Amino acid sequence: MTFDFDKLDELARAGSRLKIGKLFENGNRFADFSASDDGILLDFSKTHLTEESRSALLSMIDRAGVAAARDAMFAGEKINRTEGRAVLHTALRAGSDAVISVDGADVMPEVRQTLARMAALTEAVRSGTYAGQGGAFTDIVNIGIGGSDLGPAMAVQALAPYHDGPRCHFVSNVDGAHLADVLKLLDPARTLVIVASKTFTTIETMTNAASARAWMAKSVNDPARQFVALSSSVERAEAFGIPAERVFGFEDWVGGRYSMWGPIGLSLMIAIGADCFDEMLSGARAMDHHFRNAPFAENLPVLLAMVGLWHHQGMGHATRAVIPYDQRLARLPAYLQQLEMESNGKGVAMSGASLERPASPVVWGEPGTNGQHAFFQLLHQGQQVVPVEFLIAAEGHEPEMAHHHRLLVANCLAQSQALMKGRSLDEARRIVAGRFEGEELEMQARQREFTGNRPSVTIAYDKLTPYRLGQIVALYEHRVFVEGVVCGINSFDQWGVELGKELATALQPVVEGRASTEGLDSSTAGLASYLRT
Q: Which residues are part of the catalytic machinery? A: 342, 373, 501
The CA–CA distances, whole Å, from 102 to 74, 109, 444 equal 11, 12, 66
Report the side by side order of strands in the sheet with 388-393.
34-37, 40-43, 456-461, 388-393, 319-324, 362-364
DSSP string, 498-533: HHHHHHHHHHHHHHTTSS--TTS-HHHHHHHHHH--
Per DSSP (E only), the strands in 432-488 are 456-461
The amino acid occupying position 199 is: T
Main-chain phi, psi angles of 261, to 5 degrees: -75, -10
Query: Is 61 in contact with 328 (CB distance < 8 Å)?
Result: no
Instruction: Give the integer Cα–Cα distance in Å for 215 and 179.
Output: 10
Q: Burial of 343 by CB count in 10 Å (0-12 exposed, 13-18 middle, 19+ buried)?
A: buried
- Residue 218, helix vs strand vs coil: coil
Per DSSP (E only), the strands in 325-385 are 362-364
Those residues with Cβ within 8 angstroms of residue 485's Cβ, 6 or more apart along the chain or in another chain: 64, 65, 66, 69, 70, 491
The amino acid occupying position 121 is: L
Query: Is 64 in contact with 2 (CB distance < 8 Å)?
Result: yes
Instruction: Give the integer Cα–Cα distance in Å for 526 and 349.
Output: 37
Query: Is 331 in contact with 153 (CB distance < 8 Å)?
Result: yes
Q: Cis peptide leading into 369, omega within 30 of 0?
A: yes
Instruction: Give the integer Cα–Cα distance in Å for 159 and 48.
Output: 35
Within 10 angstroms of residue 99's Cβ, the number of other Cβ atoms is 9
The amino acid occupying position 382 is: G
Instruction: Give the integer Cα–Cα distance in Å for 369 and 211.
Output: 38
Query: Is 331 in contact with 79 (CB distance < 8 Å)?
Result: no
State which H helix or E strand residue 40 sits in.
strand 40-43
Instruction: Give the integer Cα–Cα distance in Å for 499 and 126.
Output: 41
β-bridge partners, 40: 37, 461
